[in-house]
Structure 1
Amino acid sequence: MKLKSLLLAATAMGAMAPMAYADGHEGERGRDGEVRIIYWQAPSILNPYLSGGTKDIESSSLVIEPLGRYDPDGNPVPFLAQEIPTVGNGGVSEDLTSITWKLKEGLKWSDGTPVTSADVKFTAEYCMDPEGGCAQGAKFDGVTSVEALDDLTIKVTFDQPKPNPYGPFMGGQSPIIQAAQFADCMGARAPECTDANFGPIGTGPFVVTDFKPNDVITMVANENYREAGKPAFASVTFKGGGSAEASGRAVMETGEFDYAWNLQLAPDVIAKMAEGGKGVPVSAFGALVERLEMNLTNPSPDLPPETRATVAEPHPILSDGRVRKALSIAIDRELLVEVGYGDAGRPTCNLVPAPAIYASDNTECLTQDLDGARALLDEAGWTDTDGDGIRDKDGMKLSLLYQTSTNAVRQDFQALIKQSWSEIGVETELRNLDGSVFFGGDPGSPDTFQKFYADVEMYANVFDGTDPQAYLAAYRCGNEPKPDSQWQGENINRFCDPEYDALIDKLATTGDLEERGKIARKMNDMLTKESNTIVPLVDRGRVSGHAVTLGGVRLNVFDSELWNVADWYRKGE
């Protein structure tokens, strides 16, 4: 077993070399006035440890930063750290049980106080508090201690060799928060710290001046930002809400905004917008998968929240794998791509479609099979006894509530999938929720994707970097959102399989890249084609748009899209 190969590969990719992306554009900080960003899913919080929503992770990345990030090619690059630790540079121990990070000297928080290893240590304690329900808990899987060796040095120790030690403090999902600001926000108190969660003190290029949840954020340049002359913009207006279409028009047709995120629109619509001449679309493929999530628990409102959060009360319909598979193979994925994404989408049966070493040879779902779906439902005992076109069993109709966020493409998908399911005798109720609510982290809301108070839900997310270990570890038994975790947690399906958990542990100790690929592919298959707990639909290319006058943009599908906003600047007309 080649335990060090992954770490040596990181060195070979140039992980140690800091990278600059200023395009040669230099000058005074704030010289280019205002930049206007629009996300059609509005941020509801600026603390990614309390929300798994992409819009919250990305908006907060303007303010709080990790030790290292991933560049547009998937290479790890240092941000707050001096370099990316590897076996080659001595930052990762020979036995792979620890990683030691060194902060850059002279770093300051936006309030002018020094950034130290104590802040990094505190960040780990904050997320690892069992009562806090950290949304990024899988990033700290296997961590036994985080030590501040001196003011600039942090040592993370794992319970076993960790060939991929870049979980904690790496990527937009795991930034450093200020210990002084969040000191009284540990555990169950975490959601109560509104001032900190809405206006974190950070090291990033901008500082929050006002945050209206689910609406607009205003920011100004961080005068204590570590690089002279950056950011080029004096202020940011970050608008949330509306629709992908309105966002695209606001950049490419009217020029009202400079950057529009995630233009989840039909390709002909985007092309028409681009004719407006004010902006251009940019795209890239990574590992972003639009998929259906199957609820393995009973979501009935007649049950208490604790019961609805666990498999103690199995789903009366979807706990049968034959039903889940029938729902999957009844879907025409080619049609979904044609209608929703064109060249910016590819049908997939995989939760992890890339990089290639982790992509399973899983193609069974690509061909729609209505007859096969009907046969599976017959076998499971669901038949139409009263001739109304809807199958039933033991007095219960095969009726499902299918929810997602409000978006034109997603509503098209819902309509097409509902039609396919009707052809196999399934009744489907559709519900769409505002993305700010659906992807928000409000523990009091019944409509978050974490609570999953529906039978089926649809969305897309992705993992930082190029290694899916933490992403797949999210489905460990016990990692489900529940009342005593403030409804945070990544295992929203409440999937639990001891064999799967054993593979999580095995992947964490395997360094040989080929063997890691083999294990990850098996885990992907257990979640998808073997259990159909997750039903992948489309491998989505990321499409966003920016003004023709906005320079420095490098679309990044391996980290936050706003990862290098400090390098953005205004080009001449």
Structure 2
Amino acid sequence: MDAERLQRMIDRVKRGKLSRRGFIERVAAVGLTAPLANQLLAVAGIAMPTSSGIHYTPTKRGGGGTLKLLWWEGPTLLNPHFANGTKDQNASRLFYEPLAAWTPDGTLKPVLAAEIPSVENGSLAKDGKSVIWKLKQGVKWHDGTPFTADDVVFNWQYAKDPQTAAVTAGSYIGITVEKIDDYTVKILFAKPTPFWADAFVAANGCIIPKHLFAPYIGSKSRNAPWNLKPVGTGPYKFKTFTPGTLVQGVIFQDYHQPNRPYFDAVDMKGGGDATSAARAVLQTGEYDYAWDLQVSWDLLKKILAGGKGKLAFASGSAIEHIQVNFTDPNKVVDGERSSIKTTNPTLSDPIVRKALSLLIDRKSVQAYIYGEAGETTANFLNGPAQFVSKKTSWSYNVKKATDLLDANGWKPGPDGIRQKDGKKLSWLFQTSINQPRQETQEIIKQACKKAGIELRLKAILASVYFSSDVGNDETYPKFYADLQMYETEPPSPDPGFWMQQFLSSQVASKANKWQGRNITRWRNAEYDKIYAETTTTLDPVKRAAMFIKLNDLVVDHVVVIPLVFRKSVGASIDGLMMQLSGWDDDVWNLPDWFKETKA
């Protein structure tokens, strides 16, 4: 396609004579990718549409007052490399940015990058062994220091250092990052790498400044004052932070995107619960946006009738699930609980795990708790479509579970609790304090009781359960219980990073400050072998089949028990124009958020 014809098509999009989708379809016909098509439109000043379909074309920076956000799980730190949960990732994203972000349709949008790498523009090697990122020029850190390739290279060095104990380490270990010039970096892979858009992208790719963090790399990483006082490149500069309570930012007048952001300041309030957060937007209008509304569907519909706002949905691959601890949380070895040197005395029995999976009434959980925001599933990996297994299934059958336990020697004791060889089926089941999760716990507890299994329920404050504090013994990575429940979701449309959480090499332990991604401590040689093959297989069909097999191994071994495939649900006040992505943070495109003004 010649440049003149391409420009005519772009002009038609500007005038509303051609849709964005129509433009992408036409350029795709001549070999241009969707990310490159979106980039061409972005360069031409045509922004991604908001959730209402409105194209945001601001004429000035600021003027929108304060954007009031409500995160009922309050963030505990503001370093994206230490962000254990999405609350810390989202709070860090107010100030820090990656090279690129994931849009709702799973394509990449440049942020600190000048363009998205591709084979077409010569940045992506056909053999899958390297990718070149060209950086946006003229970007400044909030203290006025220029953003350059040195910062990108430093983030690689920082995250891959085992002494840093970064939760993002999995994205940076095994690659080499070279500076070509001040605004170009090259990532080298030791082997063909089908998913090259991991490092420096989205939540795990937010970049911190070398000139401030260099003295705190490695074992000194947790001592950096900037962990709580960020200096980033994002649309807002740091103002104040009270961990777990409030994060405040003010507009960065030298922000690199012209005429953005719309809001003069941002407040992210933490604490409370999801129900009160929903009411604060949908009933009282006190806040502009509330995150992650884990509220029973019936109650949410009643709150929505308040008439102040609307629900915002994002579909990715989020899964509410139960994890099984394959180690003994009650035994201490070398000063460590849930050590891989121990074995769970009852849940290590595959028959017991199979019986447990039959006692999970997923249909009731979906119908009475999550409603339209959830869908029952037997899979841990639920999207994109090419990675979804069709071989798995689930059923709720108390009799089948009891028959299975009876046949394998797990008999009811005098107290009604099943036991074998002096070991009781009595488990501590923990999760965060959250109405849907407590209701789910009760549903499962009652079914287990019918089968002679005792569940001791524990509900932990979300700010504690998802804390990034390595000294906190009630966090989910330490997993000092037999069973636990929470939601997790992939950081990108590619499942490579996400499925690392079952690798033997990723076990969370005292040695890695519990930053390893394998929380269940399950180890399986077949899983490790297949996963290794996914990292070098360039054929997308073969690679998808491998991920399906990995999902099936996890499900068949009952390492986790999937409950519902969840949509992310937020609430926005009427007039707030924003867009959620199921593959990235809620605030992935915060510079584009604005409020419609009434005529």
Normalised-by-shorter TM-score class: over 0.9
* Cα RMSD for the two superposed structures: 1.8
Task: Select 1:450's aligned residue among 448, 455, 477.
Answer: 477
Report the 3-state secondary structure (helix = DSSP H, G, I; strand = E; otherwise coil) of the residue aligned with 1:364.
coil
Decide which moves more: 84-93 or 289-298: 84-93
* Residues in 2 aligned to 1:374 and 1:48: alpha-carbon distance in whole angstroms: 46
Structure-to-structure mapping, 1:55-134, within 5 angstroms: 55-134=87-166
Give the structure 2 partner of residue 377 of structure 1.
405
* 1:122-175 deviation line (CA, Å, top 9, x unaligned): 1111111112222122223532x1111111111111110001111101112221
Q: Post-superposition shift, 1:377?
A: 2.3
Give the structure 2 partner of residue 567 of structure 1.
592
Q: Post-superposition shift, 1:77?
A: 1.4
**Is the CA contact 1:450–1:488 (under 8 Å) kept in the aligned structure 2?**
yes
Q: Does 1:180 align with 2:211?
A: yes
* Residues in 2 aligned to 1:177 and 1:16: alpha-carbon distance in whole angstroms: 29
The residue type paired with residue 440 of structure 1 is S
Give the structure 1 partner of residue 543 of structure 2.
516
Decide which moves more: 183-192 or 216-225: 183-192
Q: Post-superposition shift, 1:11?
A: 5.5
Q: Post-superposition shift, 1:292?
A: 0.4
**Is the CA contact 1:219–1:235 (under 8 Å) kept in the aligned structure 2?**
yes
Task: Select 1:556's aligned residue among 575, 578, 581.
Answer: 581
Q: 1:165 to 1:305 in 2, by over 3 A?
A: farther
**Is the CA contact 2:128–2:538 (under 8 Å) kept in the aligned structure 1?**
no
Q: 1:80 to 1:362 in 2, by over 3 A?
A: same
* Residues in 2 aligned to 1:28 and 1:153: alpha-carbon distance in whole angstroms: 30
Q: Does 1:350 align with 2:371?
A: no
Q: Post-superposition shift, 1:276?
A: 1.4
Q: 1:379 to 1:182 in 2, by over 3 A?
A: farther
Q: 1:12 to 1:428 in 2, by over 3 A?
A: same
Task: Select 1:464's aligned residue among 481, 491, 503.
Answer: 491
Give me the TM-score of the superposition, normalised by structure 1.
0.94
Q: Post-superposition shift, 1:465?
A: 2.4
Q: 1:107 to 1:256 in 2, by over 3 A?
A: same
Report the 3-state secondary structure (helix = DSSP H, G, I; strand = E; otherwise coil) of the residue aligned with 2:142.
coil
**Is the CA contact 1:283–1:541 (under 8 Å) kept in the aligned structure 2?**
yes
Give the structure 1 partner of residue 351 of structure 2.
322
Report the 3-state secondary structure (helix = DSSP H, G, I; strand = E; otherwise coil) of the residue aligned with 1:14.
helix
* Residues in 2 aligned to 1:471 and 1:447: alpha-carbon distance in whole angstroms: 23
Q: Does 1:169 align with 2:200?
A: yes
Q: Post-superposition shift, 1:285?
A: 2.2
Give the structure 2 partner of residue 397 of structure 1.
424
Q: 1:355 to 1:122 in 2, by over 3 A?
A: same
What percentage of aligned pairs have identical amino acids? Answer: 37
* Residues in 2 aligned to 1:87 and 1:40: alpha-carbon distance in whole angstroms: 43
**Is the CA contact 1:75–1:465 (under 8 Å) kept in the aligned structure 2?**
no
Q: 1:127 to 1:188 in 2, by over 3 A?
A: same
Decide which moves more: 82-91 or 101-110: 82-91
* Residues in 2 aligned to 1:479 and 1:181: alpha-carbon distance in whole angstroms: 29
Give the structure 1 partner of residue 288 of structure 2.
258
Structure of greater relative contact order (alpha carbons < 8 Å, 6+ residues apart) = 1
* Residues in 1 aligned to 2:457 and 2:331: alpha-carbon distance in whole angstroms: 17
Q: Post-superposition shift, 1:73?
A: 1.0
**Is the CA contact 1:52–1:136 (under 8 Å) kept in the aligned structure 2?**
no
Give the structure 2 partner of residue 14 of structure 1.
35
Structure-to-structure mapping, 1:354-369, within 5 angstroms: 354-365=383-394, 367-369=395-397
* 1:79-124 deviation line (CA, Å, top 9, x unaligned): 1111111222211112111111110111111111111111111111
Q: Does 1:282 align with 2:312?
A: yes
* 1:264-311 deviation line (CA, Å, top 9, x unaligned): 1122222222221211112132200000011111111544443x3532
Q: Structure 1, unaligned stretches of length 5 or more?
A: 1-7
* Residues in 1 aligned to 2:126 and 2:383: alpha-carbon distance in whole angstroms: 29
Give the structure 2 partner of residue 536 of structure 1.
562
* Residues in 2 aligned to 1:15 and 1:341: alpha-carbon distance in whole angstroms: 37
* Residues in 2 aligned to 1:142 and 1:17: alpha-carbon distance in whole angstroms: 30
Q: Post-superposition shift, 1:30?
A: 2.2
The residue type paired with residue 350 of structure 2 is G
Report the 3-state secondary structure (helix = DSSP H, G, I; strand = E; otherwise coil) of the residue aligned with 2:357.
helix
* Residues in 2 aligned to 1:449 and 1:223: alpha-carbon distance in whole angstroms: 39
Give the structure 1 partner of residue 342 of structure 2.
313
Q: 1:506 to 1:206 in 2, by over 3 A?
A: same
* Residues in 2 aligned to 1:339 and 1:303: alpha-carbon distance in whole angstroms: 42
Q: Structure 2, unaligned stretches of length 5 or more?
A: 1-27, 50-54
* 1:49-73 deviation line (CA, Å, top 9, x unaligned): 2122011111211111111111011
**Is the CA contact 2:581–2:588 (under 8 Å) kept in the aligned structure 1?**
yes
Q: Post-superposition shift, 1:329?
A: 1.5
The residue type paired with residue 382 of structure 1 is W
* Residues in 2 aligned to 1:119 and 1:236: alpha-carbon distance in whole angstroms: 26
Q: 1:399 to 1:309 in 2, by over 3 A?
A: closer
* Residues in 2 aligned to 1:520 and 1:363: alpha-carbon distance in whole angstroms: 13
Q: Post-superposition shift, 1:176?
A: 1.0
* Residues in 2 aligned to 1:380 and 1:153: alpha-carbon distance in whole angstroms: 62
Q: Does 1:153 align with 2:184?
A: yes
Give the structure 1 partner of residue 261 of structure 2.
231
Q: 1:33 to 1:424 in 2, by over 3 A?
A: same
Q: Post-superposition shift, 1:495?
A: 1.8
* 1:547-567 deviation line (CA, Å, top 9, x unaligned): 10212x012111011111111
Q: Post-superposition shift, 1:312?
A: 1.2
* 1:215-241 deviation line (CA, Å, top 9, x unaligned): 111111112210222111111110111
Q: Post-superposition shift, 1:380?
A: 4.1
Report the 3-state secondary structure (helix = DSSP H, G, I; strand = E; otherwise coil) of the residue aligned with 2:553.
helix
Structure-to-structure mapping, 1:268-279, within 5 angstroms: 268-279=298-309
Task: Select 1:547's aligned residue among 573, 576, 591.
Answer: 573
**Is the CA contact 2:237–2:249 (under 8 Å) kept in the aligned structure 1?**
yes
* 1:458-487 deviation line (CA, Å, top 9, x unaligned): 001111221101111232212122223222
* 1:243-269 deviation line (CA, Å, top 9, x unaligned): 111000000111110000111112222
Q: Does 1:219 align with 2:249?
A: yes
Report the 3-state secondary structure (helix = DSSP H, G, I; strand = E; otherwise coil) of the residue aligned with 1:337.
helix
Give the structure 2 partner of residue 297 of structure 1.
327
* Residues in 1 aligned to 2:545 and 2:334: alpha-carbon distance in whole angstroms: 40
* Residues in 2 aligned to 1:314 and 1:24: alpha-carbon distance in whole angstroms: 56
* Residues in 1 aligned to 2:406 and 2:429: alpha-carbon distance in whole angstroms: 22
Count of residue pairs brought into register by the alignment: 559
Report the 3-state secondary structure (helix = DSSP H, G, I; strand = E; otherwise coil) of the residue aligned with 1:371.
helix
